[in-house]
Amino acid sequence: MALEFDRSILGQVFDETDFPPVEKTDLLQFADALGETNPLYTDEDAAMHGPYGGLVAAPTYVTRLRPKKMTPEHMPRFGKVGFDGGRDVEIFAPVRPGDRLKMVSTIHDIYEKTGRSGSMYFIVLRNEITNQDGQKVAIVDHRIMQR
């Protein structure tokens, strides 16, 4: 018994956000906030001699990029409360200082199941991130639970 909703909303772009150039300090602060010790993310000099030839962002940096519109205007509502159910991140290229990142957001999937807190609806929002060279940087799938 499939959940009933207007399936045409799947895949439609609801937000496009261009971010200001990535600052080196953004990357260093983000790594510090996680307690990162990997010199590739924390030490410019050491990173210079590493596989990327320079400082790069800690892997989950892409999860901190927030689109202008977090959710579509016509976000389906299946419940009163929303929770963060999880993230799936695919990483294709590192984020470097000076990168101008662009994010395109769509509703990727909607489904239903029951969990510890009752009947739950999952809305998967997909953020596709590219850089100034048009190179694919990451895909972040955000599973939002509603109940």
Partner 1 sequence: MKTLYFEEVEEGDELPPIDLLLTKDFVRKYAKTAGMDFPRFTDDEGARQEGLPGMIAPGVLSMGLLARLIGEWNQAAQITRIGTTFRSPVLPDCAIHLLGFVTQKDTERHTAECDIWMENDDGERWVIGTATVLLPTRNS
Partner 2 sequence: MARVIDLHLHSEASDDSRAPVEAYLKWLARKRDERPLDGIVLTEHRQFDTQSDYRALEDKYGMLILKASEVETEYGHVLVYGVNDAMLQRFDFSNVRLRAQELIDEVARMGGVAMPCHPGRPTIGLIEHYENRPPLEGVVGVEALNGGSKKGENERVAELIDTYGYHAFGGSDAHLVSFVGICATEFEKDITNTEELVEALRAGGYRPVDFRVRRAPAQPASSGT
Among residues 35, 45, 73, 81, which is the contact residue for partner 2, using CB under 8 A?
35
Residues in region 75-114 near partner 2 by CB under 8 A:
111-114
Are 140 and 84 spatial neighbours (Cβ–Cβ below 8 Å)?
no
SS3 (DSSP) at 41: helix
Among residues 5, 9, 36, 54, which is the contact residue for partner 1, using CB under 8 A?
36
List the single partner that 113 binds among partner 1, partner 2, none, CB under 5 to 8 Å by kind: partner 2
State how far the Cα of 127 lies from the Cα of 141, in Å rounded to an integer: 6
CB of 104 to partner 1, least distance (A): 19
Are 101 and 50 spatial neighbours (Cβ–Cβ below 8 Å)?
no
Residue 84 engages partner 1 in binding (rule: CB under 8 A): yes
Residues whose CB is less than 8 angstroms from the CB of residue 78 and which lie 6 or more positions away in sequence, other chains included: 112, 121, 123, 146, 147
Are 82 and 144 spatial neighbours (Cβ–Cβ below 8 Å)?
yes
Are 119 and 59 spatial neighbours (Cβ–Cβ below 8 Å)?
no
Closer residue to partner 2 (CB): 52 or 111: 111
SS3 (DSSP) at 47: helix
Residue 69 engages partner 1 in binding (rule: CB under 8 A): no
Query: Of the listed pieces 4-12, 90-98, 117-125, 131-139, which binds partner 2 according to CB under 8 A?
Result: 117-125
Could you list the residues that contact partner 1 (CB under 8 A)? 29-30, 32-41, 51, 58-60, 63-64, 66, 81, 83-92, 143
Could you list the residues that contact partner 2 (CB under 8 A)? 1-2, 35, 37, 111-119
